[in-house]
Structure 1
Amino acid sequence: MATYKKRGYKPENKEEQQNKVEDESTTAEVFNTLDEGAGKTEAWVAKNQKYIFIIIGAAAIIILGYLAYNEFVQEPKEAEAANEMFQAQIYFDSALDATGAESDSLYNLSLTGGEGKYGFLDIIDNYGSTNAANLARYYAGMAYLSTNNYQEAINQLDDFESDDEVIAPLAKGALGDAFMQLEQPEEALNYYEEAATMRTNEFTTPKFLLKAAITALSLGEGEKAEEYLTRIEDEFPNSSQADMVAGYLGQAQAMQ
Structure 2
Amino acid sequence: MATYKKRGYKPTTKVEKQHDIEESSTTAEVFNTLDEGASKTEAFVEKNQKYIFIIIGVVAVVVLGTIGYREFIAGPKQTTAMNDMFQAQKYFDQATTAVEKDSLYNLALNGGEGKYGMLDIISEYSGTDAANLANYYAGTAYLRLKDYEKAVEYLSDFESDDEVLAPLAKGNIGDAFVQLNQPEDALGYYEKAANMRDNAFTTPMYLFKAGNIALDLGKASKALSYFEKIKTDYPNATEAANIDAFIGKAQVLASK
User: TM-score, structure 1 length as denominator?
Assistant: 0.88
Cα gap change, 1:38 to 1:98, in 2 (>3 Å): same
Pair 1:165 & 2:163 matched: yes
- Match of 1:7, as an amino acid? K
Question: Structure 1: how far apart are the matches of 2:214 and 2:23?
Answer: 81
- Match of 2:191, as an amino acid? E
Q: How does 1:32-111 map to 2 (within 5 A)?
A: 32-99=32-99, 102-111=100-109
2:179 aligned to 172, 178, 181, which one?
181
SS at match of 1:83: helix
1:151 aligned to 142, 149, 164, which one?
149
User: TM-score, structure 2 length as denominator?
Assistant: 0.88
- Match of 2:6, as an amino acid? R
Query: 1:169: Cα distance to partner?
Result: 0.9
Structure 1 residue ranges without an equivalent (≥5): none
Cα gap change, 1:112 to 1:6, in 2 (>3 Å): same
> Which residue pairs with 2:233 in the alignment?
235
Query: 1:114: Cα distance to partner?
Result: 1.1
> Which residue pairs with 1:121 in the alignment?
119
Structure 2 residue ranges without an equivalent (≥5): none
- Match of 1:78, as an amino acid? Q
SS at match of 2:241: helix
- Match of 1:186, as an amino acid? E
> Which residue pairs with 1:142 in the alignment?
140
- Match of 2:54, as an amino acid? I
How many residue pairs match? The answer is: 253
Cα gap change, 1:113 to 1:3, in 2 (>3 Å): closer
Deviates more, 1:141-150 or 1:25-34: 25-34
Query: 1:16: Cα distance to partner?
Result: 5.8
Query: 1:22: Cα distance to partner?
Result: 5.0
Question: Structure 2: how far apart are the matches of 1:177 and 1:23?
Answer: 86
Deviates more, 1:58-67 or 1:144-153: 58-67
Question: Structure 2: how far apart are the matches of 1:3 and 1:123?
Answer: 76
Question: Structure 2: how far apart are the matches of 1:222 and 1:107?
Answer: 38
- Match of 1:45, as an amino acid? V
